[in-house]
Amino acid sequence: MDPYKHCPSSAHNTPFWTTNAGAPVWNNNSSMTVGQRGPILLEDYHMLEKLANFDRERIPERVVHARGMSAKGFFEVTHEISNLTCADFLRAPGVQTPVIVRFSTVIHERGSPETLRDPRGFATKFYTREGNFDIVGNNFPVFFIRDGIKFPDVIHAFKPNPKSHIQEYWRIFDFLSHHPESLSTFAWFFDDVGIPQDYRHMEGFGVHTFCFLNKAGKVTYVKFHWKPTCGVKCLTDDEAMKIGGANHSHATQDLYDSIAAGNYPEWILHIQTMDPADEDRFDFDPLDMTKIWPEDIFPLQPIGRLVLNRNIDNWFAENEMLAFNPAHVVPGIHYSNDKLFQLRTFAYSDTQRHRLGPNYMQLPVNAPKCPHHNNHYDGFMNFMHRDEEIDYFQSRYDPVRHAERYPIPNAIISGRREKCVIPKENNFKQPGERYRSWTPDRQERFLCRLVNALSDPRITHEIRGIWVSYWSQCDQSLGQKLASRLNVRPNI
């Protein structure tokens, strides 16, 4: 055995207890003391090592998506789309790619109940032959804000009050009263889908607009949609309270038990596509992630299926240390100019370097499963075995070369440096259309949740009036009902 290439593994357990260095421990139950009743000795290295490791067992939890569960499986292409993208893992029907998926809540802490009204994360890592591709999405197709510079603020508003550590609606509605773009997401948040029954009966969305590129370099805008084959199911508020009171890990347990029993959850991956030449034809900005693409104009096209058929082996190694990054794309897929997408390509890798260290991509769950080579050396917890003498590029002593060129968007970009709002905000049309698409009983449930949230005693009359005005512009009857129940007049 080459000692420099051996990595510790539970597969190499000895039949007796050892220190981290491998030395045998003859008594793991008693500290070393001076006599039977005397003080503990500092020379009991095993005791100190055991406690020191225990003291450091917890790593910083994620700022968002702290509460979650992962599972493994495969993605299989079912439809021919090589005319749209040269991505290798999408090259032909029948091609399978290993994946790991993490489901999560967004706002609350690692030990919080999975029944709270909150968006859910739906993040998928594809281990392709050309590197990892991550779709880091949610169970809503839209988000509260459209510009990444406001992301810390919207998360702070949803997080607990820094003084009391209590989540309070007055903070949420105060902040977002300045941002009517949030109406689209509130139309999902306070809807029935705001509390999924579990992770298996939940939709997923890539949310952002991505770019597909084919071999000729032609760009197509694309959105991703995961549709569960077992259907979408949600919990009422009363059901959520009952289930959450009995088991705060009900969704995690449901996912784990279902896979263990051979009842493998499955989703169909659909795409919507748009020609970038048509980008300005609509009354909304297609790259604005507070907007959906209407399915009657951009129909869903199935392209593959996702099957989760393996539970993770270790929750910490494959859930807590699992790290996603929207910047991880592969040849044939690229970013769009979505302003929040652009920010996330930096923010996610930056937070993983803070949580897990600069070499988080060496962890088995995050490392690509294809050959890879670069000169990212050293740093905390670097455990990659390297014996090269060349740690620079280029070198006449090292044959490594540039990869073959692949297409990326090449549109000519020009404009003045400025900070501005996108021209087509159109904040009220889509949430109004969504509300009107519901049955009367579903509309009533949405209205009741909205009234309850806006009844927070610290929400001022002014802020209530602003929200009544916003919803009146979405749908006049909704605004009237909301004004009546809150006893306020629209503040238009």
Binding site as annotated, residues for heme: 348
CA 150 to chain CA centroid, Å, is 18
- Active-site residue, selected from the candidate residues 46, 65, 250, 270: 65
Q: How many CB atoms lie within 10 A of CB 119?
A: 25
Closest CA to 233 of 204, 266, 193: 193
Q: How many CB atoms lie within 10 A of CB 186?
A: 25
Closest CA to 301 of 83, 123, 129: 83
Is 138 annotated in the active site? yes
Give CA–CA dist 286/293, Å, rounded: 7
Q: Which residues are annotated as a binding site?
A: 348
Is 108 annotated in the active site? no
Give CA–CA dist 427/53, Å, rounded: 51
- Active-site residue, selected from the candidate residues 46, 108, 132, 138: 138
Bridge partners of residue 222, in order along the sequence = 210, 273
Q: Is the Cα torsion angle 62, 64, 65, 67 positive or negative in sign? A: positive
φ, ψ at 412 (rounded to 5°): -75, 130
Asked whether the beta carbons of 255 and 71 are under 8 A apart, the reply is: yes
List active site positions. 65, 138
